[in-house]
Amino acid sequence: MKSLNIVILNFGLGFLVLSSAIAAQAGTFAGTWRATKAGPYEALPEHVVSLSTFYENGVDRLARSVDRTLNDNRDVLPRFQKLVHPIGICFAGTWAITESNPYTGYFAPGSRGLIIARASEAMGKPRYGSWRSFGIAGKIFPTKDPRDPNNYETANFFTIDDLGGTEAQYFLDTIKTNEPAITTHASSILSIRTLLKIANTFKAADSNPGYRRIDQIASLGVKDARKVRAPHWLALRAATETRVDEDDFRNELNLRHYQDGLRFDILVADAETDRAWKRIGQIRFSDQALSQGCDQSLHFAHPKSSR
């Protein structure tokens, strides 16, 4: 089952916009968040992921989507259906690095910015009771002002808990990393053709799709590339202690349950420490979007693992 290394990796990376007018607003925090919140849902949608959804009129939609995700750096794209992580919930909030560390950019001590993120589940399985693979993709803006009119190049990151999924009841109970674990289980066999298609497509596009680079964060605001220093690993661990009994993870994460917002510790580690995690800061989410814009507008640039 080696191919499962890459199986669910893209976790929603290739997002999409509601109109060209909204696309023109992308680049500012306010414009990107406005596009993300557009088209709020009256009822939460579901989307089945299967081999047949990857093709349309003989066109390999998955290969086209992966290429777009790896090569398009815009924050908002023309609308299309995400194929691997089709449903999620989006958040806006703050990114803050509070602890001493040797890294640069928005890993550096004292760094504070705004963040837009999307929490999702691979293969369209929102409910507790099945193996679910949870991920968080984030987009950091180098500004503390939500009304800042400037267009910024953002730093994007991608974390997931387990490429094969876990039986965790709560989204908040698993640590998401940029090089996640892989668990194989009997239920994987039921979707083997779909999983192999995903794995082979990602492998053809990127030499090591099991690892997501995080040097974008370390480079943000750094003019001299020679001075950039990034940790090897990034992880997000829930700092919020509340747990909410909801079958659908989107309802579990709804901010109405969390009086102080939803908080995640920012953890890093270097290769020589063998993932000895160090907490260096925290993300706090204070606004949310359950919307077409979240599922069908927001785009996270997905840098290749190989330079």
Read off the pLDDT band of 57 (50, 70, 90): confident
Q: Between residues 147 and 60, which one has the greater pLDDT?
A: 147
Domain annotation covers residue 306: no
Domain presence at residue 102: yes
- pLDDT of res. 22: 33
Residue 190 domain flag: yes
Distance CA 249, CA 232 (A): 29
The pLDDT, as a whole number, for residue 67 is 62
Q: Which residue has the tokens 């958040």?
A: 91
Question: Mean pLDDT over all residues of the chain?
Answer: 82
CA angle 88, 184, 268 (to 5 degrees): 60
Q: For residue 236, which phi and psi values (nearest 5 degrees)?
A: -115, 130
- pLDDT computed for residue 86 by the predictor: 83
Contact 255, 286 (CB under 8 A): yes
Question: Residue 214 domain-assigned?
Answer: yes
Please check the confidence at residue 187 and state whether its pLDDT lies above 70. no
- 163: helix, coil or strand? coil
In 3D space, the residue among 85, 166, 142 whose CA is nearest the CA of residue 119 turns out to be 85
Residue 301 domain-assigned (yes or no)? no
Q: Is the pLDDT of residue 7 over 80?
A: no
Residues spanned by the domain of 173: 2-296
Return the structure tokens found at 139.
């987009």
pLDDT band at 149 (very low <50, low <70, confident <90, very high): very high
At 58 the pLDDT is 77
Residue 93 is assigned to a structural domain of this protein: yes
DSSP readout, 87-150? -EEEEEEEEEE-S--S--GGGSTT-EEEEEEEEEEGGG--BBTB-B-EEEEEEEES-S-TT--S
Sign (positive or negative) of CA dihedral 237, 242, 247, 251 = negative
- The answer to whether the CB of 107 falls within 8 A of the CB of 178 is no
Q: How far is CA 89 from CA 55, 101, 118, 121, 188, in A?
A: 26, 31, 6, 10, 25
- Write the pLDDT tens digit of every residue in 270-307: 988 778 999 999 999 999 999 999 998 898 887 666 54
- Whether 1 has a pLDDT exceeding 50, the answer reads no
pLDDT digits (tens, 9 = 90+) for 195-225: 565 566 556 555 566 788 999 999 999 999 9
Domain assignment present for residue 42? The answer is yes
Distance CA 280, CA 239 (A): 13
Q: What is the pLDDT of residues 231-265, one digit of tens each?
A: 999 999 999 999 999 999 999 999 999 999 999 99
- Residue pair 106/140 in contact by the 8 Å Cβ criterion: yes
> Global pTM?
0.83
Report pLDDT for 14. Answer: 31
What is the C-alpha to C-alpha distance for residues 269 and 271, in angstroms, rounded to an integer? 7
Residue 302 lies in a domain: no
Counted domains in the chain: 1
Q: Is the pLDDT of residue 152 over 70?
A: yes
pLDDT digits (tens, 9 = 90+) for 92-134: 999 999 999 999 999 999 999 999 999 999 877 788 988 898 9
